[in-house]
Every structure is written in C-alpha cells, then in structure tokens.
Amino acid sequence: MSIQLNETHDAALTSWVKSANEAGADFPIQNLPFAVFRRAGSSEAFRGGVAIGDQIVDLSALGDALAGADSAAREAAALGSRDSLNALMAAGPQAWSALRLALSRLLRSDAPPRPELLVAQSDAEFTVPATIGDYTDFYTSIHHATAVGKLFRPDNPLLPNYKWVPIGYHGRSSTIGVSGQAFHRPRGQTRGATETEPVFGPARRMDFELEVGIFVGGGNAAGEPIAVDHAEEHVFGLCLLNDWSARDLQAWEYQPLGPFLSKNFATTISPWIVTTEALAPYRAAWQRDAADPQPLPYLDYPALRTSGGFDIELDVLLQTETMRREGQAPAVIATSNFRHSYWTVAQLVAHHTVNGCALRPGDLLGSGTQSGPKAAEAGSLLELSAGGKQPLTLPNGEQRVFLDDGDRVVLRGRATRPGLPRIGFGEASGTLLAAR
C-alpha cells in the first residue's frame, strides 16, 4: 500500500462552484465524494453524482464536458452514471483516480463554468449508492469492546481473541437504508435479569452505534486472499454508518452465535462515499500498546504504523420529537475519532479474505462502534448511560437512557488538518418510529 498525493489534493485549489470554497464546507473540490441520486419527487432514473459545494455533478449529464480527458476517465464517468455504483467500484483504483482528476480539472476556478451539469443537493433525493450483496460488521474499537464487556461480563470484559483477530459477524444487507431512513421499533424475545422465561414484544432498550462504513471496490476470486499491503486497492471509499441495536434482544440472543434480530432490522448509511484517495492527506499513525500482542504477519505491513489509520472526527447528535416540534436543532451527545480503531481498514479486508472468502464490488463492511478512550467519546447510549443506569440529560431538560419513539439520531464526520480543506461526509440520520 502506497499513499500518493497528486494535483487533486492541492489545498490552494478552488472551484467555480462558489459554495465549495466556503469555510467549513463539507464538499470542497479536494473531496468529490460519490452518491446515487435523482431530483426529489420525480420519476427520473437514479444515477451517480459527485458532490461539489451544495451542488451535485450529474455524471449522466457530462456529455462532451470530459472530451479533453483521457479515455479511462470518460469510461469511468459512464460507469458512474448508472443507477448504482457497482460497475464503477469494480473498475478499480486507476479508473477512480482518472475520473477524480478529470472532475477536479472540470470544476476548478480557471475552467469555464458549466452550471448545466449541476443539480442542487436541496433538490435531490438519494438512494443506497450500491447494490450491497453482503454486509459484515466488525468490532474494531477496544474501548467499546471493553466497556460493553464490563456490562455483560464484569469478570471477563475482553475475551482473549480480541487482541489477536478482527472480530466480525454477518449482517443483513436488505435492511440497509440511506440517510433519512425511518423504521419501526423491532419486536422479539427478551428476558430480564429477574425473569425465568422470555417474553415477546417490542424492544425496550433501543440504541445507536456510531460506525464508519467501508465500501469494497474490486473484489477477489474465491480462494484467493487479498494481501494486507494491497488491501486498500480493493476499497472504494468510506461512509458514515449507524448500526441500530436492540440491546435487550441482544442480551438474550447473543450467546452462543452472536447478534441476530437485535441488529438486522435497520442500518443507516450516509449517501456520500468519500474515496480513500480524497482521504490520503488525512492518514493517521496506527498505534497499539506495546504490552499488547502485535499483529500476526498476515495482518502486518510496512505502512501500518506510520499511516495505517484515518483521522476522521465523528459526532453523534440526538433530536427528540419534542425538540423537533419546538424547532430545536439536534444536540451533540458524543464525539469520537476513527483513528482510535484497534484494527485498520486494510486489516479488516485482509482478514475477511484470508480463508478464501470472496468479496464483491459494493459489499459493505462496518467498522463496529467507534468509541474513544474518554467517556464523552462513547459511540452508543449503552456506554453513555452505563447500561441504562445513568440518564443522559439533553439541553432542553429531557433525559434518555435508551431511545424513545420519535427520536432522530444524526451522525456527522469530517477529516481536518491545519492548512488543509475540510473533507466532510455529510450526515447519516435515522428516526425510530413506534412498534407496529
């Protein structure tokens, strides 16, 4: 794995799309993330688009706009204009990079403005950006694993395999939705600490999980593992991900095979996928306590310790139904950073395939809840409320230990460095509705 900076990363670049040049904009010309969209309320076909400021470059409208670009960029734009990004993801890093360069040159301040190529984000609606064949959720935050382990297993919070192997489970791709997703409180079996038999009914301990999603680009043939030092060549980009959880269902069902109904009813992702190329200037050193086991050789690679991680700031906001009714904005209840992850993106891909498992373009990996070392960096209500024992007080005086019906959770993320533009992820929002 080598991290290459090129002209698209130049911090001095500006765009003829003025909103892209505003301080604090999520989508400057150095970002250029991908989504699938159409005009809201229309019968138009969904198609690929690229964010620039508060606008979307409609890849299906480019026409002769890339006439001066090389054939790889034009072919990649055609793949990206389809109703899912799978074909573009399958095209590989050279195609993604060629399209990024062509779009960067097209959108720069010294290029002729082409406003006819744009659709305002405020006029658009989004769908899941790829056909997700498979979804695997990992458990990469040692801070989250330890905190949750103390709640479920006070005498043995962190199982011995955690520091040796990236832990994951197979999720449900059919219930993944894009930001704006609303879903009903799930029903299932639960058994309280003082009950001798389980009962069936709506989950009572509903939670969010602050995660980063990883979209697979080019896959691998069955039986052919992806080497860890080439793993990121198979990663198209990252998004925000909320792995909603029913904690009381989880406590009853998770042994011996792990999560099932407690996790498969809804997962919300942000519409925008930020490419790993856009994130190249925001890489982070990967660190592990010297007393901990170091990665086995198949999970170790030259760039791991210097730049294996990503420095991505993450926020969780909560807006209750009362706050919404009274016009109050969502309140920040936690912050964290992806650099705290115990396992890297490359290690997740390598481990997933080391046994010969085939990944396919558009497959999604979840990082697992991204909690940091401080209490305010907890990525779930389970941690923030100490398992429901310590209510969280919101700015309007309302309290939560777990989510109430009508609560809206918003995830936001960005990569920042002094002297560099902000590379934003937009947001992933979802609303919990009452049980059916």
* Residue 257, number of CB atoms within 10 A of its CB: 8
Which range has the worst mean pLDDT, 58-67, 146-155, 193-202, 263-272?
A: 146-155
**CATH code reported for the domain at 13-127:** 2.30.30.230
Residues 119-129 have a mean pLDDT of 98
Name the pLDDT band for 1 (thresholds 50, 70, 90).
Answer: low
374 is in an annotated binding site: no
Rounded distance between C-alpha atoms, residue 183 and residue 207, angstroms? 13
253 is in an annotated binding site: no
Structure tokens at 212: 């980063």
- Tracing tokens 């198209």 back to the chain, one arrives at 236
Is 144 one of the annotated active-site residues of the chain?
Answer: yes
243 is in an annotated binding site: yes
Residues 365-393 have a mean pLDDT of 96
Give SS3 for 368: coil
What is the residue extent of each domain of the chain? Answer: 13-127, 135-433
Instruction: Return the CA Rg of the chain.
Output: 21
The model's pLDDT over 153-194, given as tens digits with 9 standing for 90+, comes to 888 889 899 999 999 999 999 999 999 999 999 999 999 888
- How much of the chain is helix, strand and coil, in % rounded to 5? 25, 25, 45
* Statement: residue 276 has pLDDT above 70: yes
Name the pLDDT band for 117 (thresholds 50, 70, 90).
Answer: very high
250 is in an annotated binding site: yes
Helix intervals (H) in 3-115: 71-80, 86-91, 93-107
The model's pLDDT over 229-257, given as tens digits with 9 standing for 90+, comes to 999 999 999 999 999 999 999 999 988 88
427 is in an annotated binding site: no
pTM given for the model: 0.97
User: What is the per-residue pLDDT for 175?
Assistant: 98
**CATH code reported for the domain at 135-433:** 3.90.850.10
From 144, 340, 351, 352, active-site residue: 144
